[in-house]
Amino acid sequence: MRHGKKINHLGRTAAHRNAMLSNMASSLIISKRVTTTVAKAKALRQFVEPLLTKAKDDTTHSRRTVFATLQNKESVKELYGSIAEKIANRPGGYTRILKLSASRAGDNADMCIIELVDFNETLLEAKNASEAKATTTRRSRRRGGKGGAEATGNEAGTSAAVVAEDAPATSATEAEATTLDAPADEKQTPEA
């Protein structure tokens, strides 16, 4: 049983597991996405997200700490260069795991893609387009256009308001009273 065991050892010794995760983290930082198994991707997420958080603070100490973990100068340079700028305002959740439908041919392992969230341009463009489209269509349905007649102050909106004010005020109860008082043969309409 694995009650309370939170670390997936991935069938490796501690040194082998740390070396593998370090190499995968370097590959993820340099290429922005890695195709791997779901179990390794979940372990990599726990391994790399604290490093990405440390990259927000560009000090000598944080650089040395990250280099001690990654052991790769190019990935540290990339991490503190372009990646730190993009994730500066993000409070966490720097990676995304996208599960693939096809499994690995040899052992039928579930495969996935782990990627940095801020570097998938196609998903970012689609998300921005859908947000812009959804907000404009909702507003136009609710208000009857951009801003409505009252907000824009156009001629059609003001003339309709003036005509409505000039009309005599007849309430629903007055209209009912005139139709109820009249005989069934004669139907009177209230004068407008």
Of residues 117 and 187, which shows the higher confidence score?
117
* Distance in angstroms (rounded) separating the CA atoms of residues 10 and 17: 7
For residues 63 and 90, state if they share a domain: yes
Question: Above pLDDT 70, what percent of the chain?
Answer: 70
For residues 94 and 148, state if they share a domain: no
Lowest mean pLDDT among 2-6, 15-19, 37-41, 71-75: 2-6
DSSP label at residue 185: S
Q: What is the pLDDT of residue 151?
A: 52
For residues 30 and 113, state if they share a domain: yes
Can you state the angle between helices 14-31 and 38-55, rounded to 10 degrees? 70
Query: What's the mean pLDDT when you consider all of the chain?
Result: 82
Q: Which residue has the tokens 């824009």?
A: 152
CB-based contact 21:51 (threshold 8 Å): no
User: 103: which 2 tokens?
Assistant: 């499994």
Domain count, the chain: 2
pLDDT band, very low/low/confident/very high, at 50 (cuts 50, 70, 90): very high
Model pLDDT for residues 62-106, shown as the tens digit of each residue:
999 999 999 999 999 999 999 999 999 999 999 999 999 999 999
For residues 85 and 27, state if they share a domain: yes
User: 80: which 2 tokens?
Assistant: 């503190």
Q: What is the pLDDT of residue 146?
A: 58
Q: What is the pLDDT of residue 123?
A: 81
> Is 50 exceeded by the pLDDT of residue 21?
yes
For residues 106 and 153, state if they share a domain: no
For residues 113 and 143, state if they share a domain: no
For residues 127 and 115, state if they share a domain: no
For residues 27 and 108, state if they share a domain: yes
- For residue 110, list its beta bridge partners: 103
Lowest mean pLDDT among 18-32, 34-48, 55-69, 122-136: 122-136
For residues 130 and 109, state if they share a domain: no
Model pLDDT for residues 144-170, shown as the tens digit of each residue:
555 555 555 555 544 444 444 555 555
Question: What is the gyration radius of the CA atoms in the chain, in angstroms?
Answer: 32
Q: Checking DSSP bridges between strand 110-116 and strand 95-103, what pairing results, if any? A: antiparallel
Q: What is the pTM of this model?
A: 0.66
Q: What is the pLDDT of residue 109?
A: 96
Q: Which domain holds residue 104?
A: 14-119
> Is 50 exceeded by the pLDDT of residue 59?
yes
User: 163: which 2 tokens?
Assistant: 């005509």
Q: How many residues does the chain have?
A: 192
Asked whether residue 137 is assigned to any structural domain, the reply reads: yes
* Distance in angstroms (rounded) separating the CA atoms of residues 23 and 56: 21
For residues 69 and 134, state if they share a domain: no
